[in-house]
Amino acid sequence: MSQAQAGETQGAAPVALVTGASRGIGRRLAADLAAAGFDVVCAARSTSDRPGRLPGTLEETAALVEQAGRRAWAVPLDVRDEAAVAALARRLYETWGRCDLLVNNAAVAPAKPALADSPQRWRLAVDVNLNGPFYLIWHLAPRMAAAGGGRVINISSGAAKLPQFGRPGYTVTKAALESLTECLGHELRERRVAVNCLRLEVPVWTEGFAATLEDPSALGFEDPVIMSDAVLWMARQPLDWTGQVVTIGELRARGVVRPETRVAPTRS
Ligand code: NAP
């Protein structure tokens, strides 16, 4: 992707901020955005000093970005912390001077029925999956608009349309994220900030998703690279393509996403 295609601000390389970049889909997106010419801000909580329960750290992802020849910035961030999001937005514009693409990828998927879980876990899903993306858009979109435009891609799930999935905190917050996409796509259209959503409706192999399943071997998984196919295409669409919710299946039918991939489940 050329720099002009990727961002609206001419000059330095375009910048993407990816949340949930310590592992899974976010890590793959960060590496593939770098290969496509983006400098990447990698945000999540797990660092080499403070690793999480699952494998993967920001430093490892940042190394992948640098191996692809781009600048990486590993930023420890809990997306529930609005003050920290505000500080990151400020520092990003003070240091790198731009943000062309925000990918709201971080999420949690509490795996219990609502009344079998606690109100605290309900709030966790709302705070990570909905409030976090809102804070990031609220603090970055005005800066993107002032710089001439930008793009937001929210990552949703097929679960948004599956009330029977058994994870209401996840279903409700992903449905709300899709609704937020449509509202803000409308609201920010004139300011040239495109807000779109990618609804992933097929299982993709990640340690995080697998850890929430009783028997991962019961599911067929695809490779996270299909998300990169989709996100890179969405990042190239004109700024008046906004407020859209698209699925992997739709983009595959259009030849945007590669044909079906297969990954064998493993446990680390
Ligand atoms: P994952 O492996 O569980 O990774 C989730 C990421 O979110 C991690 O990097 C985690 O990093 C980060 N995160 C969690 N809480 C956070 C917080 N409070 N602040 C900042 N970062 C936080 O998930 P995934 O499978 O890659 O899924 C990525 C996205 O795709 C999610 O939006 C998910 O809903 C969506 N999706 C996935 C599938 C699938 O089949 N895998 C299907 C449908 C939709 P830290 O723990 O280091 O903070």
CATH code where residue 130 lies = 3.40.50.720
Give the C-alpha separation, 188 to 17, whole Å: 19
**Based on the number of CB atoms within 10 Å of its own CB, is 122 exposed (0-12), middle (13-18) or buried (19 or more)?**
middle
- Which residue CA neighbors atom 18 of ligand 1 most closely? 78
Residue 6 lies in a domain: no
pLDDT in tens, 190-238: 999 999 999 999 999 999 999 998 888 878 999 999 999 999 999 999 9
Residue 44 lies in a domain: yes
Residue 86 lies in a domain: yes
Bin 243: left if φ > 0, else alpha if -120 < ψ < 50, else beta.
left
Can you name the residues that pair with 43 across neighbouring β-strands?
19, 75
Active site residues: 170
pLDDT in tens, 132-183: 999 999 999 999 999 999 999 999 999 999 999 999 999 999 999 999 999 9
Residue 153 lies in a domain: yes
Residue 47 lies in a domain: yes
Residue 34 lies in a domain: yes
* Structural domain boundaries, residue 215: 12-253
- Which residue CA neighbors atom 48 of ligand 1 most closely? 45
Q: What is the dihedral of CA 88, 91, 95, 97, to 10 degrees?
A: 80
Give the C-alpha separation, 210 to 189, whole Å: 37
Site to probe by mutation for ligand 1, drawn from 53, 59, 157 as the one with most ligand atoms within 8 Å of Cβ, is 157
Residue 176 lies in a domain: yes
Tell me which residues have their CB closer than 6 angstroms to ligand 1.
Answer: 19-20, 22-26, 44-46, 52, 77-80, 105-108, 128, 155, 157, 200, 203-204, 206-209
Residue 132 lies in a domain: yes
Query: CB within 8 A of 75, min separation 6: which ones?
Result: 41, 42, 43, 58, 88
How many separate domains does the chain show? 1
